[in-house]
Amino acid sequence: MQIRIVAEDPAGADVAWLVTGLFEDGPAPPAWVREPAARELFANLVESKDLSASPGDASALHGMSGIRAASLLVAGLGPREAFDAGSAFDLGVLVGKRLGGRPRGAVGLVLPEAGMPAEVASRLVQGAIVGTAGPGLAKSEPARYAFEELRLILPPGSTADPALVDRAMARGAIVGRAINLARELVNLPPARKTPRLLADRIRIEAGAAGLEVEVWDEARIRRERFGGLLGVAAGSDEPPSFVTLHWNGAGPEAPHLALVGKGVTFDSGGLSLKPSASMEDMKADMSGAAIVAAAMTAIARLRLPVNVRGYLALVENMSGGRAMKLGDVLSMRNGKTVEVMNTDAEGRLILADALSFAAEQAPTRMVDLATLTGSCVVALGTKVAGLFANDDETAELVRESATAVGERVWRLPMDGDFRESLKSPVADLKNVGSKWGGAIVAAKFLEEFVGGRPWAHLDIAGPAWAESDSPARDAGGTGCFVRTLVRMAEEAGEP
């Protein structure tokens, strides 16, 4: 998809499709619709609500007089004052999904006038790249096609600086492709992304982006005493992998940010076997790892002036003959012992090792992402991630970054009493406690392994996966929080 910006009269643009937004306060029609007949038609359709200004609504008009493009798509944008980075992204996805079902030539998108032109342009491009890629990896015929050209049109009178907007679009494209990488990895069938296959793929993607990559095999993982990762891996014929990614954008002496991802390539529950319906989406249980890897490819391609390290714990949770059993005790990387009381609480076991190891490298902050608990989905629904932290500043950094890009998090408490139910009679702690506040109990478990470092945990069990299709989102892996992580790295690079 060729992406470019052109300052021109939208009515005269030589494109197959022209897309324009409609704010609740108009103007309807926009000033560049000049033919009186076309102006009247547009105004009547708005009046009769056949053209809607609600976000998610979009209507096509064909053969409008005075408009060179054969087809016009009018997309609802809601109230102008509420239009933000998230709305621009959603608009881009909607356009991509709506028009990407067939091969298209040039698609012209009139830049909505709501301030922050570079930011809006960047998010529109991200969204269009995401929307023109569908989840149908294994379809015989592709269900979605990238546009030949995506042209952002600055209409006459726009005060935006085309050079700045152009740069923002190029950066937006990098992030859009990273989101698609995360989605693709999540949407892969589990047999095609066993820990070793996934590590191979990430090695290739990360290497191409300019990241340093190190992959540990099972023998190395054993030498490094990652008892949690080995415990979970024991039930599978597939050995685990542990991947470290380095981006050194700020020089070797500068401090670094650590990102940790849960990479369970399939979660059957282990001996605490899940019922079949609960297993249907469990190929997505490696979303945290996919998102960290994808965000780091974007951070590298953007050449952000920061140091970031990514840690991905990859494993299959199966119920083979050597599977860990209830009552087994694991010795974790940081020396603590854990009594396994539910083999389906496996995410915290592998994150414990990854967080301990990440903490040893003395990062300034750590953030982990994990599809960790169904309890978090019960608490916050499918679109909001649970945010947990041992440090207010780190929590705020994550919250502000997410809000700035239009992703949703909600902080939950971590008071000391939530730790009590994790007490074990035989070991330092158990891997499960009270089911009430289960997402918080899980976060308290993780806290035992962060070595007192400033740390935040995002429970993305809800937002990582979309059950069904909607105008601005495909079903399947969502690539959520790639934008947030890139934004955080940008913030960390600010002096």
User: Is residue 37 packed enough to be buried (19+ CB in 10 Å), middle (13-18) or exposed (0-12)?
Assistant: exposed
- Output the CA–CA distances (angstroms, integers) from residue 435 to 279, 283, 378, in the order listed: 20, 24, 12
- Of these, 347, 438, 454, 479, which contacts Zn ion (CB under 5 A)? 347
φ and ψ at 463, to 5 degrees? Answer: -70, -15
102 is catalytic: no
Please check if 344 is assigned to a binding site.
Answer: yes
Q: Which of 192, 196, 274, 411 is catalytic?
A: 274
- Give whichever of 172 and 288 is closer to Zn ion, judged by the CB atom: 288
Site string for Zn ion, 277-296 (x = CB under 5 A): --------x-----------
Partner touching 213 among ligand BES, Mn ion, Zn ion, none, CB below 5 to 8 Å by kind: none
Query: How many chain residues are in contact with Zn ion, going by CB under 5 A?
Result: 4
Q: Are the C-beta atoms of 219 and 462 separated by less than 8 Å?
A: no
Q: Residue 165 contacts by C-beta under 8 Å, 6 or more apart in sequence?
A: 5, 111, 117, 118, 121, 152, 154
| Angle subtended by helix axes 392-405 and 85-99, to nearest 10 | 40
Q: Are the C-beta atoms of 18 and 72 separated by less than 8 Å?
A: yes
Interacting residues with ligand BES (CB under 6 A): 267, 285, 342, 344-347, 371-375, 377, 432, 438, 461
- What is the DSSP code string of 78-103? E-GGG--HHHHHHHHHHHHHHHTTS-
CB of 338 to Zn ion, least distance (A): 16
Q: How far is CA 248 from the centre of its chain?
A: 22
CB of 370 to ligand BES, least distance (A): 8
Please check if 97 is assigned to a binding site.
Answer: no
Partner touching 375 among Mn ion, Zn ion, ligand BES, none, CB below 5 to 8 Å by kind: ligand BES
Which residue's CB atom is positioned nearest to ligand BES? 374
Site string for Zn ion, 245-264 (x = CB under 5 A): -------------------x
CB of 344 to Mn ion, least distance (A): 4
Q: Are the C-beta atoms of 371 and 285 separated by less than 8 Å?
A: yes
CB of 281 to ligand BES, least distance (A): 6
Nearest to 205 by CA among 239, 229, 174: 174
Interacting residues with Mn ion (CB under 5 A): 267, 344, 346
435 is catalytic: no
Q: Which of 151, 301, 348, 444 is catalytic?
A: 348
Q: Are the C-beta atoms of 428 and 337 separated by less than 8 Å?
A: yes
Residues acting as catalytic residues: 274, 348
Please report, as ranges, the residues that interact with Zn ion according to CB under 5 A.
264, 267, 285, 347
Binding site residue list for Mn(2+): 262, 267, 285, 344, 346
